Amino acid sequence: MTASEQERVAGLVFGFFPAQVVQTLARLGVPDALGEGALGLDALAARTGSRPGPLARLLRAAIGLDLVTPADDGYALTDGGQLLRTGTPGSMGNLAQLFCGDAVWRAWGELEWSVRTGEPSFEKLTGHSSFAHFAADPALNAIFTEAMAEGTRRAAPGIVAACDLTGVGTLADVGGGNGTLLAAFLDAHPELHGILFDTPSGATDLVVDQRCEVVTGDFFGTVPAADAYVVKSVIHDWDDERSVAILARIREAMPPHGVVLVVEPVFVDEPAALAGQRTLLMSDLNMLTCTGGKERTEEEFTALLSAAGLRLVGVTPAAGSGYSVLRAVPA
């Protein structure tokens, strides 16, 4: 056993400590309080409702993690720390609060239970599915909605460029959240009309206005008719049976010339490829604990689509995003 190997494993053992430093900074509102300026310790403690002594220790750790830097007898944000502010370009503040926050954090603490049972620990702990849990708490729902939008905003240019919408008049985004991806499609295609479809709590804090109809409902019931459908980060939330049901509802609603664009990471389940897919491996376990879904290989997506009466006709990586666009047509 080499010292560097011990260091690597120690990094895994203690890996959750920095995540809680990030989450606590975000929850206390330190990044928003600092903004583009600097504050002294007492002012920052007053702004964040913290005690100066322990706050200084948290900030010292944040300096060590290159999120905060000493400045003008106080503290300022580094470039990385700027990403934890809310409402700024490239922000990841809501992602930090959601994925390191109470419900997801506790669900990961029960990963062992999910591995033993195959059930999402999130539901055991909260008594609800994750979507019902978020829907019941407006503050948490706002964090969830904006966290999804933060991730999608970064990926949208690559996804839009990877989707051929030739001949498409109306594009429906199924499970489209606040419309961040649909807005990017509408910006890129001035003739396109959009339909944003989500639950009433999902279609909230909307960022679409012009050329877009908002329809609320349940994608296990019926979905609106459209020439093309984009379904991003939805199928991985569900087990195979429910994923097929969503795709089958789309298949039933679409015209013969219709197309479905499933946007998900495509997992390469080969031992030699795993080290290069760490984010996806963790996302797969996040689905196990939080939603009961999973990340999938191209073969697995092909089987789901086929069971829903659809045929995969192409897989296009969306540059710079980690996602691929799986294009399917009626079988």
Ligand X SMILES: C[S@@+](CC[C@H](N)C(=O)[O-])C[C@H]1O[C@@H](n2cnc3c(N)ncnc32)[C@H](O)[C@@H]1O
User: Is residue 152 within the footprint of ligand X (CB under 6 A)?
Assistant: yes
User: Is residue 105 within the footprint of ligand X (CB under 6 A)?
Assistant: no
User: Is residue 289 within the footprint of ligand X (CB under 6 A)?
Assistant: no
Residues present in the chain in total: 331
User: Is residue 324 within the footprint of ligand X (CB under 6 A)?
Assistant: no
Helices and strands, number each (H, E), in the chain: 17, 9
Among residues 232, 249, 251, 296, the one that binds ligand X under rule CB under 6 A: 232
User: Is residue 204 within the footprint of ligand X (CB under 6 A)?
Assistant: no
| CA 78 – CA 25 distance, rounded (Å) | 13
Minimum distance from residue 176 beta carbon to ligand X (Å): 5
Pairing of strands 324-330, 259-264: antiparallel
User: Is residue 237 within the footprint of ligand X (CB under 6 A)?
Assistant: yes
Among residues 199, 222, 302, 306, the one that binds ligand X under rule CB under 6 A: 199
Among residues 99, 108, 185, 219, the one that binds ligand X under rule CB under 6 A: 219
User: Is residue 292 within the footprint of ligand X (CB under 6 A)?
Assistant: no
Letter string b/e over residues 89-103, b meaning 16 or more CB atoms within 10 A of that residue's CB: eebbbbbbbbbbbeb
Q: Which two tokens stand for residue 62?
A: 């944040």
User: Is residue 132 within the footprint of ligand X (CB under 6 A)?
Assistant: no
| CB closer to ligand X out of 20 and 199 | 199
Q: Which of 128, 133, 236, 257 is catalytic?
A: 236
User: Is residue 243 within the footprint of ligand X (CB under 6 A)?
Assistant: no
Among residues 218, 297, 311, 314, the one that binds ligand X under rule CB under 6 A: 218
CB 33 within 8 A of CB 106: no
Q: Compute the chain's Rg from CA coordinates.
A: 21
Number of residues that bind ligand X (CB under 6 A): 18
Q: Which stretch binds ligand X (CB under 6 A): 9-17, 24-32, 120-128, 194-202?
A: 194-202
Residue nearest to ligand X (CB): 202
User: Is 257 an active-site residue?
Assistant: no
CB 54 within 8 A of CB 28: no
Q: Which two tokens stand for residue 304?
A: 């789901």
- Specify the amino acid at residue 192: L
Q: Which residues pair with 229 in a beta bridge?
A: 172, 260
Among residues 70, 112, 220, 282, the one that binds ligand X under rule CB under 6 A: 220
| CB closer to ligand X out of 75 and 144 | 144
Q: How far is CA 87 from CA 38, 79, 93, 94, in A?
A: 19, 15, 8, 9
| CA 271 – CA 215 distance, rounded (Å) | 43
User: Is residue 250 within the footprint of ligand X (CB under 6 A)?
Assistant: no
Q: Which residue has the tokens 């050329």?
A: 211
| CA 304 – CA 300 distance, rounded (Å) | 6
User: Is residue 176 within the footprint of ligand X (CB under 6 A)?
Assistant: yes
- Chain residues in the site for ligand X (CB under 6 A): 131, 148, 152, 175-177, 180-181, 198-199, 202, 218-220, 232-234, 237
- Annotated catalytic sites, by residue? 236
